[in-house]
Structure 1
Amino acid sequence: MLKAYGKKLRLIRQSEGLTQASMAKITGIAISAIKNYETQGVEVGISIIDRVLDREEFRKYTMWLMTDEIAPSAGQISPALAHYGTDGGEAQKQTRKTGEDLDVKPSRYAQKTG
């Protein structure tokens, strides 16, 4: 499971339009570490997850990163939904795989709409 975090971090970075270098600068994580997580399958520790989620621009991915679930009505999305917004439009309709065969499931805690 921990190796999947590297793939997820790459999806987050790409969804935000960031290079590995810019991600390193924003988070304070060494670029070599980012490369290792994303491409070498090096396990991502909780301190790295904390550094990423400490940044406001990445908090919207917290639920997806930790549980594979999303709650668009609560502002919790996956990278695949990042550019659809959280206003209940397209974001709630999409619950598909996110590029790297990582499942995205609506949260059982998400508010259901009629």
Structure 2
Amino acid sequence: MGNMNQMMKQVKKMQEQMMKAQEELQNKTVEGTAGGGVVSVTMSGDKKVLDVKIKPEAVDPDDVDMLQDLVLTAVNDALTKADELANQDLGRFTGGMNIPGLF
């Protein structure tokens, strides 16, 4: 019975550490870029877009499609980086397994 209590304490401690790590992700940011940096997207570690910056040279009224593609690429780059950050920060709890809904 002592082993079971010890194991439950370890599980509870790991859960608390994981929750803290998830909360810390909210305070970390990543930046995705496109077009050599003419479009940048800043995103929190929990995948909330915080800022979008577009340099004037990226804006061509005759080529709106290009700007849309740049924004899309920058957002996807930021999402990839946010996933990598979450995997790095929370991977120690999951042993490298991607658990749906965890991050």
Shorter-chain TM-score: which interval? under 0.3
TM norm structure 2? 0.26
Q: Which has the higher helix share?
A: 2
Greater RCO (Cα-Cα under 8 Å, separation 6 or more): 2
TM norm structure 1? 0.24
Structure of higher CA gyration radius: 2
